[in-house]
Structures are given as structure tokens and as C-alpha cells.
Structure 1
Amino acid sequence: MTIKSEPGKLEQKQIKTSARGYTYGYYTSPAQDGKPTLLLLHGWPDDSSLWYTIANDALIPNGYGVIVPDCLGYSLSDKPDDYKEYDSKAMATDFAEIIKTEGIDKVIVIGHDWGSGLAQGFYFFQPEHCSALGMCNVAYIPPSTQKRDIVAMNDQFEKIYGYRCFNYMSWFASDESDAICDAHVESLFHLCHAKVDENQDPTKGNLFTTPDGIKKFIQADIKPETHPSITPQFKKHWIEKLTEGGFHAPFNYYRNFINSQGTHDNKAGPKVDVPTLFVGYSGDLVCRAENIQPSIQAGLLPNHTNTILSGGHWGLLHESDAFNEAVLKWLKSLNV
């Protein structure tokens, strides 16, 4: 199956939120036969198109409602310069306003990459509107009032896995990352959507886990072969949208994370009282599938479905049939 780059059956809409005055572009299709609606949240450096394939090929044909925003900083949505505007509590309020505009009270929220963090934030801060929580690649991170310590996190990863999973984050959050990525968008696309070697040893060097690895790679304009699922249309959409919007806003998610003072005033968590799904990928060496295990073992995810698939960080696109099947199986098991 190839990746869709057009919204298909999804209707494009726009809203200016009353709480913060930010404009969001989003796409929607109404639920049928009493089925629930899903709020699908993308991560870096994607936009709503991340979800077009599963929406059009799996969810809508099975009667599920779909709401797919361009998250703050991307495509049709506003792109504030200040990283503090990318606070998960504030964005949870924005998402709640979007679903209320659609006449929806509760949604099943699923997120990928930073979208997984936003989905978790939606549960933490808007639990009354969340009936189930799905997380792709980025595992559950229990709310904590402690300031994020990226060095300590990498120290812990190195003890567990033998390498520093989040070495790339400091550069992404730096002042120079915007311009360099703006100038080398095509190389970055090929890096993100390259074929995955699931037998590689990340302790011997990985572009995301090696300091300045991504910077040096894209500055050399290296373009590895992309996964067979990638179409020229999808590549064109990806490059055009990021060229138009630039990388400053997308990188603000990293700046906010690194400078975050912790999670405060959450209404829910650390125990998740709704059904949860985690889809991890055996070839994702940055967002390791094993990272979900501490929360499972601590009893924080009592109604949990854990699914590990073959592929890398964008496995939901590259191997969409397997991902769609896993999500549909979970949805059919829910009583929401």
C-alpha cells in the first residue's frame, strides 16, 4: 500500500480558538452508526497528512468519525515563534475546542511522535473528553512536576541500551537548527523516510544518537533511498509544506520540552483510567518500544494493549496495512 497525500473523504475546515486566538486547520469526517470519533495528532515534522491513509482506508470505511488537525506550527495552522506557546496544557484546550465545534463530547485520541505527547496531554488536562488513549512510537510518560533533564534522560538510556537515544534533541532545540534544516529539506525527508535496517547496532553510531549526526548528514545533502511506500506526491507535499512554514515552529516542540518545568495542574494521571494502546516498532532505535514497559509494570496502564510491529519510526506509514489492522483490532475491542 502506498501513502496518501490528499485528504480524500476528509472535509477541510478551520477554527480560530477562543481561548488563545490561534487558527487551526483540520480535517473531519462524521461517525456513522453510533461509532466513536478519533482525534488523530501528528508529530515532527509531519502534518495532518500523516493520518490520511488510515483515515481513508480503515477508519472511515468502518464507520469511525475522524478529526485530524494540523497541529500548532504546521501547514494550515498558526506558527507562533515563542516556544512557550507549545505548552501541552494549552494545546489540549485548543483540541477540546475543536471537538466541541464538531459537536463531539468525547473522542478516542491517538498520537504519533510529539503527537503521542499531545495525546497524553489531552488525557491529563481534558480527561472528561477522552474515552481512550493511543500512543504510537513515543511511550507513556507519567506526569511529573520535575523539570525535564535531557542529560539525565540520556544518561539513563545509555545505562539501559548502551547509547544516548535523545542526543539529537539538543541540536533540534538550538538556534542554528532552523536555518540548516530549511536549507536541506529534501535531505531531511530522505533521512526520515529511508529504508530501515532492523539489524543495525545503534551503539556503533546512529545519526539521531550521535552528536551533530543529523546536522552533518543533511549539510552534505545525502539522500538515501526511501522506503518503497513513498510516492512522489507524498514527498512533494511534505517538502512544500515544510518549505512554506519553515522549521522554527516545528522545532519549538523540542525547545518547550527541554525547558519544561514539568506537568502541573493535570486532572488525570499518572494512572490512566481509560483503555490504552501502544504501537511500538522493533526498528525504532530512538523511541524504543521497550520504553512502555516501566509504566506497564508500575500498574499505570491497567487496561492496556501493547503491540510491537516491524519497521521504524514512520512504520505507521511505511507498513500501513499492519498498523491499520492493529488500530482497528483495538478499536473493536473497546466499549466506548
Structure 2
Amino acid sequence: MSADFQHRYAYTNGIRMHYVEHGEGPLVLLCHGWPESWYAWRHQIEALAAAGYRVVAPDQRGYGDTEAPLDTAAYDILHLTGDLVGLVNALGVRQATIVGHDWGSIVAAHAALLRPDLFRALALCSVPYLPRSRVRPAVHFASNTQEHHFYQEYFQTPGRVERELEEDVRRALLGVYYTAGGESRRHPEHARIGFMAFPKNARFVDSLAYPDTLPPWLSDADLDVFAAQFRKSGFRGTVDWYRNLDRNWALTPFLDGARIQQPTLFVAGEQDGVIRMTAKAYDALETNVPRLSRKVLLPEAGHWIQQERPADVNALLVDFLRSEAVQREFG
């Protein structure tokens, strides 16, 4: 990781947001997911800056050194997209490419839908564009969690999963990272373990697998960085994103049937459980994103695609940013 990364702050949408910046050129905004931070993009920041881009990776609302409002409703999709609009404006830029992973993909897709004048190109990692459903998420929770917990449903109870995760932050993060990563999916025993669905009599943290040795993409130093960030911020604000799923649905009826019109790249790991969970949206990407440039599944990789396969993701991002379709958007 380069010592040239600049740690800065911007005031946006009523909060103080921390971000890391590196490089010069057209702006590329990198949006992390759960439970991550700007550090999840450590490999991309340097590579994209070397390719001639100004790269900005924020800690999003509730994470790391960015403020975490106490009101759960402050984490709805309009607040989250508003944060990014305000950040880009604070940077003095009028156009940017936005890249998201996991929850960051959901926010990036909404930012592209709501401000196509500002976000001219889009890259989504792990989570495809999820068009607004016909029924609210709570209906799905009620029908699909009769026998097992679904992690997003489990997260709805205030304080429950936060207490579990904060008992041993480093171990909990390791469990989440490993369980959703490609290595666990290839393990003869751990492949049967997962936190997307788990028994009603189990806690979320009890549904995680733990490796004997760290996966090759995650060093002790990396895990220490993530753990220090979450010990500082806690998990409340980060889990409040999930507690706004119904609110997000209620706030966005105007997005029924909306398609993303910007040039878009999608990349994920073949072993990513999210691809199975969002199979319908994944299969419909070409329809819902008419200018989809590429749709790539990297073999043997899991959910943390930009960390598990940084060289592949970096190459795909640079090729996309240099493509004729993206270049036309920026004149």
C-alpha cells in the first residue's frame, strides 16, 4: 500500500466523511460494502492512480472515520446516495465513474439512476443491479424465514447482531470474510457452512466458518486494519443500512422499471453466494442495463472479489475506463 495515499475529510449531506485519495486525472469513486471500509480498495487505489485516474475511496456513512448518525432512518438509500453526490461536489468535480462492491454496488447503482449527469459510468462488483421489486422486502422475509434465519432478516432487530460481532471484532470479521470467500467454498467441510441462511436456534456469529490459516488474500496486517476500524466505529451504523430495506422500497416508487443507461461493467466471483441469491437480477442484467459492457465471473473467487483477485479486477476496471463507450461519456 502506497504511503502517498492522502487521508482527507469532506462535509457532505450533514456528516463529516473520511476518504482516501490518490492520483490525478478523471475521478473514480470507489464504494465499499459490508463489513468493509475504504481499505477494501487498497489494491485498486494504487493501480487506478497509476493508470491516470484520481481515485477516491470513502468510508461510507457509519463506517471507519466517517460519522455515524444515531437515527436509523439516516441510513436510507437517499441519504447514502446524497453522501456521494455531496462528496463529488466537495471535490470540485462535475463528472465521475462510480464503482461499488456489495452494498456499495447498491448505492452506486442508485447514484447512477438518480444523478446520471454526475455519474457517467458505473462498475458493479458482486451485487448486480437490483431493480425495485413489486413487494416490499418484509414480505420476502416473512415467507422465506419460517424454518431458518436469513441474515438480512436477522439484522433487523436493533442491537442483536452488533453485540455478537463486538464480542470479538477481529474473530467475527475473519469469520465473515472467510465464510463468504472462495477458499471456504472449496473446503470439504466449510462449504456446507454459510450465514445467508442459518438455524433459528443459532446466532449469526455461530453460523460462521473459521480457517486454520488466513486465506492468501487477507494478511494478519490487513485483518488488523479492519478490526481497528470496527473497534472504533462499532457495527451499529453499518447494520442500520439493512434496517432501511423496507424504507428504501417505500421511498423509491418512482424507480419502478428503471434501467441504468450508463456504460456498466459487472464482475463477481463464481463462488460468490450473492450470485445465487440474486440469480434473477444477474440473468436480467443485459435487459436492465442496456449498455452493459462486460459481465464477468472469475473462477474460484468468492464474494470479496476486488481483494481476492486484485490483478484481474484492476485489469477489468482499467480496460473499462479506457473503453470507447466510457471515453465518449466524458467527452
1:253 to 241, 246, 269: 241
Match for residue 98 of structure 2?
Answer: 109
Match for residue 10 of structure 1?
Answer: 5
How far apart are 1:153 and its partner, in Å? 9.4
Output the CA distance in 1 between the equivalents of 2:281 and 2:157.
28
How far apart are 1:312 and its partner, in Å? 0.6
User: Deviation digits for residues 84-109 of structure 1, max 9, x if unmatched?
Assistant: 11111222222112111212111111
1:244 to 215, 221, 232: 232
Contact 2:21 2:57 in 1 (8 A): yes
SS of the aligned residue for 2:110 comes to helix
Gaps of 5+ in 2: none
Output the CA distance in 2 between the equivalents of 1:233 and 1:316.
17
225-234 or 205-214: which moved more?
A: 205-214
Q: TM-score, normalised by structure 1?
A: 0.84
Could you say if the C-alpha distance between residues 13 and 309 of structure 1 is closer, same or farther in structure 2, counting changes exceeding 3 Å?
same
2:155 to 157, 172, 185: 172
Match for residue 325 of structure 1?
Answer: 315
Contact 2:116 2:262 in 1 (8 A): no
Output the CA distance in 2 between the equivalents of 1:269 and 1:303.
16
User: Deviation digits for residues 127-177 of structure 1, max 9, x if unmatched?
Assistant: 21010111111111113575323626975x9xxxxx98x811122222311
Could you say if the C-alpha distance between residues 145 and 77 of structure 1 is closer, same or farther in structure 2, counting changes exceeding 3 Å?
farther
Match for residue 279 of structure 1?
Answer: 267
How far apart are 1:294 and its partner, in Å? 3.8
1:52 to 42, 45, 48: 42
Match for residue 40 of structure 1?
Answer: 30
Q: How many residues align?
A: 316
How far apart are 1:226 and its partner, in Å? 2.2
How far apart are 1:192 and its partner, in Å? 2.7
Structure 2 residue 71 is the aligned partner of structure 1 residue 82: yes
Output the CA distance in 2 between the equivalents of 1:79 and 1:153.
29
Match for residue 92 of structure 1?
Answer: 81
1:69 to 55, 58, 64: 58
- Percent identity reads 22
How far apart are 1:320 and its partner, in Å? 1.1
Contact 2:126 2:303 in 1 (8 A): yes
Q: TM-score, normalised by structure 2?
A: 0.85
Q: Cα RMSD (Å) of the superposition?
A: 3.0
SS of the aligned residue for 1:128 comes to coil
Gaps of 5+ in 1: 158-162
Match for residue 234 of structure 1?
Answer: 222
What is the correspondence of 1:190-209 to structure 2 with a 5 Å cutoff?
190-194=174-178, 195-198=183-186, 206-209=194-197
